[in-house]
Structure formats: structure tokens, C-alpha cells
Amino acid sequence: MTVGIATYQPAFIQTSINFEYRYINVLAFDIETIPDVDGGRALHDLDGLADSEVAEAMFQLRREKIASDFLPTHI
């Protein structure tokens, strides 16, 4: 997982009569899924393949289905 925190200072914001700077905190994260090769092996009948081959097959099946290799969060 990648996490980034930044504070941005936008242009002037009018509050009541005064103008002032306001800081905005932003939290961004990127989470990647780790393939469940045991579940994928059982679900897609991939017995006899190495873990890396099962993971690649799962990614390929997902790319064919939704044009992205992001795996679902559950099987």
C-alpha cells in the first residue's frame, strides 16, 4: 500500500468580510491486491500450476473480463 499526505494552500478564500489563506489536508492511498492463488487455483481449476502461473492466469482472466488486471476484493 502506498500512502501520501500533503498540505495544499489554495488561493485566497473569502470568509465573511476578510480574505485569508486556508490550508487543506489531503490523504491519498493506493492499495493493491495480492492474488489468493489457492482460491484461484480451486476456482479456475488450475491444479498443477506454480503459484506465479496461477497468479498470472488470474490476472489474464481479469483483463479479459474488465480490461484491467485489478483483482476483485473477494473470490
Looking at the domain assignment, is residue 57 inside a domain?
A: yes
Looking at the domain assignment, is residue 25 inside a domain?
A: yes
Pairing of strands 13-15, 2-8: unpaired
Q: How much of the chain, in percent, has pLDDT values that exceed 70?
A: 68
Looking at the domain assignment, is residue 75 inside a domain?
A: no
Residue 73 has pLDDT above 70, yes or no: yes
Q: List, in sequence order, every residue forming a beta bridge with 25; answer none if it has no partner.
A: 7
Looking at the domain assignment, is residue 72 inside a domain?
A: no
Long-range contacts of 26-30 (CB under 8 A, 24+ apart): 27/3, 28/3, 28/4, 29/1, 29/2, 29/3, 29/4, 30/1, 30/2
Q: Which residue range(s) make up the domain with 29?
A: 2-66
Q: What is the mean pLDDT of residues 53-73?
A: 90
Number of domains in the chain: 1
Looking at the domain assignment, is residue 71 inside a domain?
A: no
Residue 57, pLDDT score: 95
Looking at the domain assignment, is residue 74 inside a domain?
A: no
pTM across the whole model: 0.57
pLDDT digits (tens, 9 = 90+) for 4-40: 666 565 555 555 666 566 677 777 777 777 889 999 9
Residue 31, pLDDT score: 74
